[in-house]
Amino acid sequence: MGKIKRQKAVVLASGRGSNFEALVRAEKAGVISPFEIIGLISNQPDSGARELARNFCIPEVLVNSQPFKSPRGFDRSHYESELLKCLTALKPDWIFLAGYMLVLGPEIIAAFPKRILNIHPSLLPKHRGLRAQKQAIDAGDRIAGCSVHYVTEELDGGPIVLQKSLEILPDDTEETLSKRLLPLEHETYIEALQQIAKELN
Ligand code: GRF
């Protein structure tokens, strides 16, 4: 069995950053080898993920999406060309979306074919898009879960790598369900990467 080439990964995150943190801790513990997290890109100046990156001494870049928003809408193409410039400079083999709250456009997806992963808090193809946990509760589902999938141009629609599920409790709210789901998301992302690592072998 040959040695697998080091796989450089950049994480894109907008918010709190718990999935980012779980991936970094897994990398440092040597459990998602050959992936190496070489940087974080965030579109939000106040993202918790940025602070985590600094604490872990992982290079972090802000590509602020705010200036690209106006009453006329979001200037996605200019924002994405900034993001693409940044990604091109970092030269990752993989991009891991971890609570990245913007939809990636076709140019970036085409630049990293089958090399972009996302974690989504539902059992896809159910409940795509925002507030998936609330969607599951509102739909009266008994089971919720999370999915790690490849990113394609179809929102939350790319091939699924791994899913894990848990029971929705009768008194679950969006908040309690999201909280119980989070550790499962972390676990699923790590196992999905372990699975991909085996396929690279
Ligand atoms: C997670 O629920 C993830 O599935 C969704 O956004 C949330 C991000 O949480 N895409 P965190 O920033 O990783 O803590």
Q: Are both 1-113 and 119-201 of the same fold?
A: yes
Residue 156's pLDDT is 94
As a whole number, the mean pLDDT across the chain is: 96
Give the number of the atom of ligand 1 that is nearest the alpha carbon of residue 118: 10
Residue 196 has pLDDT above 60, yes or no: yes
3-state secondary structure of 39: strand
Q: Which of 57, 56, 65, 58 is nearest to 15 (CA)?
A: 65
Compute, in angstroms, the gap from residue 17 CA to the centroid of ligand 1.
7
What topology is assigned to 1-113 in CATH?
Answer: Rossmann fold (3.40.50)
Range 152-167 average pLDDT: 97
As a dihedral over the C-alpha atoms of residue 89, residue 157, residue 114, residue 149, rounded to 10 degrees, the angle is 90
3-state secondary structure of 15: coil
Range 20-40 average pLDDT: 98
Up-side HSE of residue 81: CA atoms within 13 Å toward CB?
A: 4
User: Measuring CA to CA, how many Å separate 201 from each of 84, 86, 122?
Assistant: 29, 29, 29
Counting residues of the chain whose pLDDT is more than 90, the rounded percentage is 97
Range 98-102 average pLDDT: 96
Q: Using a 6 Å cutoff on CB, does residue 18 contact ligand 1?
A: yes
DSSP 82-132: HHHHHHHHH--SEEEESS--SPPPHHHHHHSTT-EEEEESS-TTSS-SS-H
Range 48-61 average pLDDT: 98
Residue 2's pLDDT is 57
For the chain, the structural domain boundaries read 1-113, 119-201
Residues sharing a CB contact under 8 Å with residue 37, sequence separation 6 or more, in sequence order:
9, 10, 11, 23, 24, 27, 58, 96
Residue 157's pLDDT is 95
CA distance linking residue 92 with residue 28, whole number of Å: 18
Residue 129 has pLDDT above 70, yes or no: yes
Compute, in angstroms, the gap from residue 165 CA to the centroid of ligand 1.
16
Q: Which CATH number, 3.40.50.740, 3.30.1330.30, 3.40.50.170, 3.20.20.70, labels domain 119-201?
A: 3.40.50.170
CA distance linking residue 170 with residue 141, whole number of Å: 10
Q: Using a 6 Å cutoff on CB, does residue 19 contact ligand 1?
A: yes
C-beta separation of 179 from 163 below 8 A = no
Residue 169 has pLDDT above 60, yes or no: yes
User: pTM of the full predicted structure?
Assistant: 0.96
Compute, in angstroms, the gap from residue 146 CA to the centroid of ligand 1.
10
Pocket test for ligand 1, best of 11, 16, 18, 19 (most atoms within 8 A of CB): 19
